[in-house]
């Protein structure tokens, strides 16, 4: 049994004798010097393997070799070459990169009460020069925590999820109906046996925007009609442009580019301006609806017993100022389209090229849906393979390829000293495909997650990190998970999926991981 004693930075203390266990599992002797634990055998920060000490030369090499678009592959190759931890410096940005769940677990223990991740400075600069309030994505400290706790009540708590699930369920059903209508018009084969082979990505982006608007604003915007609005299509284009222009701006001073009138900065700022104007129009309509609802003295949280969306809930409760509500709703909108539409592309592809997996998930979904009596919450609870499918898709194709933290105290990772305040990145693309972490890692197997729950797996809570971890995990996680699971549920109840080509997809990184060419999917009516 462990005795109580003085703990080592980032280690587990084993009593007063000064024994420490590092994240790598090595037991070392240590002593106190000047109030700090000095661990024998621990290596210095400077000894961490690195990719080159000159950040500007490294950045130039990245530009020349087009590595930004293949950053996930660069990380995977570097871990294979240097081991499970390395340092990298690119322009003004320095980081320590890790990939093992045990090390991520150690990092989590040191994130503190107000966890910090890497600030997307281009986004922050845009808010500052346009005099927009910042949402929680760009905040830190107590200000972040106070706002986050209010948002959690409306987007993360189980009661909130139950309120918005029917809205997502409605959109998913309507998408399948739209696809069925399109199949009858454009499909091949006899009536009732039609098949339709398409690139579904434009439709998936419309689905994600329709679903996000329904949950956030409490209104449908009609994107499944034969002629969706140009305004909404421009919003999708703006989000894509914002994501594409963000990565290069992370390594250069945005205000310098602003003064220079650099086209890259202009494109980025213009994209954000359009995102804000789209959100502002929706928020104004929501505010008007809420005012009308309150004039009629509807019960709190409803408009004639109708859920008013996250926006309406926040406005009614009045715990956040209108400016802060606008800032956070806009961030949720901007972060809620590509980040669900793209994983759904990968999900349809993997289910299509793994027919046995597809059928096992479908059988479970059918039973659960029949027993749920139309209740989407019960239906999802009874189909754990749906959740496993999403986790498996995000293991192989994580939306964001890293999760970052700045430890609030010194820690030890892989027997190296990491000073407090160092940017540490958990690289989840290499983790998800590593034989050191997953058995047969390239096999698409949603059932692996159910099996793991019955086993004692080291650092089990840090093997699925697509939504981050701890208090600073993705605030839109519950919306995204529910949206994707309900979408796949209704697709599998309505259609059989196959793919013209089962070749592995080539992927690229903007700010998120996506296929270089969207996969074509064949839908067949069941």
CA angle 64, 69, 75 (to 5 degrees): 95
Under 8 Å between Cβ of 405 and 30? no
DSSP H helices in 263-354: 263-295, 309-317, 322-334, 338-353
pLDDT at 304: 45
Query: What single-letter DSSP state applies at residue 418?
Result: E
Residue 56 to residue 34: CA distance in whole angstroms: 37
Q: Tokens 């339709």 — which residue?
A: 196
Residue 201 to residue 332: CA distance in whole angstroms: 21
Read off the pTM.
Answer: 0.88
pLDDT at 31: 42
pLDDT at 325: 93
Under 8 Å between Cβ of 259 and 252? no
Residues in Cβ contact with 506 at an 8 Å cutoff, skipping those fewer than 6 apart: 515, 516, 517
Low-confidence residues in the chain, pLDDT < 70: 1-40, 191-192, 294-305, 454-458
Collapsing DSSP to helix, strand or coil, 304 comes out as coil
Residue 147 to residue 135: CA distance in whole angstroms: 8
474 annotated ligand-binding residue = yes
Backbone angles phi, psi at 20, to 5 degrees: -125, 145
Distances, alpha carbon 134 to alpha carbons 230, 232, 482, in Å:
28, 23, 26
Tokens encoding 67: 């590595």
Sheet with strand 19-21: strands edge to edge: 12-13, 19-21, 27-33, 36-39
Tokens encoding 32: 């106190």
Number of residues in the chain:
526
Question: Around Cβ 477, how many Cβ atoms within 10 Å?
Answer: 14
Residue 117 to residue 276: CA distance in whole angstroms: 23
pLDDT at 253: 81
pLDDT at 498: 97
pLDDT in tens, 302-316: 444 578 899 999 998
CA dihedral 333, 338, 341, 346 (to 10 degrees): -150
Collapsing DSSP to helix, strand or coil, 50 comes out as strand
pLDDT at 369: 96
Distances, alpha carbon 419 to alpha carbons 54, 105, 147, 408, 409, in Å:
20, 17, 29, 9, 7
**DSSP string across 224-241:** TSSS--HHHHHHHHHHHH
Tokens encoding 474: 């993705």
């Amino acid at each position: 049994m462990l005795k109580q004693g003085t703990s080592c930075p980032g280690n587990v203390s084993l009593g007063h004798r000064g024994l420490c266990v590092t994240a790598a599992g090595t037991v070392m002797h240590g002593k106190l010097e000047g109030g700090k634990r000095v661990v024998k055998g621990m290596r210095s920060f400077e000894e961490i393997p690195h990719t080159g000490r000159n950040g500007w030369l490294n950045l130039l090499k990245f530009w020349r070799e087009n590595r930004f678009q293949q950053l996930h592959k660069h990380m995977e190759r570097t871990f294979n070459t240097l081991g499970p931890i390395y340092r990298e410096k690119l322009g003004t940005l320095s980081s320590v990169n890790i990939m093992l769940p045990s090390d991520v677990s150690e990092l989590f223990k040191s994130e503190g009460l107000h966890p910090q991740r890497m600030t997307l400075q281009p986004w922050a600069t845009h808010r500052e020069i346009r005099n927009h309030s910042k949402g929680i994505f760009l905040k830190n400290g107590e200000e972040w925590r106070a706002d986050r706790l209010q948002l959690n009540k409306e987007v993360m708590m189980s009661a909130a999820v139950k309120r918005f699930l029917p809205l997502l369920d409605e959109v998913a059903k309507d998408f399948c109906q739209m696809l069925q209508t399109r199949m009858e018009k454009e499909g091949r084969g006899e009536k009732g046996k039609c098949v339709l082979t398409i690139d579904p990505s434009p439709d998936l982006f419309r689905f994600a925007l329709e679903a996000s608007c329904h949950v956030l604003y409490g209104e449908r915007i009609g994107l499944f009609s034969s002629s969706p609005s140009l305004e909404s299509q421009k919003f999708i284009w703006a989000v894509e442009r914002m994501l594409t222009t963000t990565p290069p701006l992370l390594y250069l001073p945005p205000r310098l580019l602003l003064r220079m009138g650099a086209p890259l900065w202009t494109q980025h700022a213009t994209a954000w301006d359009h995102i804000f104007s789209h959100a502002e129009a929706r928020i104004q309509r929501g505010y008007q609806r809420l005012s009308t609802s309150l004039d009629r003295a509807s019960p709190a949280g409803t408009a004639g017993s109708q859920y008013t969306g996250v926006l309406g809930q926040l406005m009614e409760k009045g715990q956040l100022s209108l400016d802060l509500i606008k800032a956070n709703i806009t961030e949720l909108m901007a972060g809620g389209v590509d980040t669900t539409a793209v994983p759904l592309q990968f999900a349809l592809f993997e289910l299509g090229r793994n027919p046995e997996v597809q059928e096992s998930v479908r059988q479970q979904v059918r039973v659960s849906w029949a027993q749920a009596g139309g209740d989407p919450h019960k239906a999802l609870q009874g189909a754990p393979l749906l959740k496993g499918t999403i986790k498996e898709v995000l293991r192989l194709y994580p939306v964001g390829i890293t999760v970052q933290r700045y430890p609030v105290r010194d820690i030890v990772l892989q027997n190296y000293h990491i000073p407090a305040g160092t940017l540490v990145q958990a690289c989840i693309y290499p983790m998800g495909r590593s034989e050191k972490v997953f058995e047969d890692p390239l096999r698409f197997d949603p059932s692996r997650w159910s099996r793991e729950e019955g086993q004692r797996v080291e650092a089990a809570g840090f093997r699925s990190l697509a939504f981050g971890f701890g208090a600073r995990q993705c605030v839109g996680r519950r919306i995204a998970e529910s949206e994707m699971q309900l979408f796949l549920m209704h697709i599998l109840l309505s259609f059989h999926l196959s793919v013209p080509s089962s070749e592995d997809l080539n992927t690229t990184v903007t700010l998120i991981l996506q296929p270089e060419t969207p996969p074509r999917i064949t839908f067949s009516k069941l």
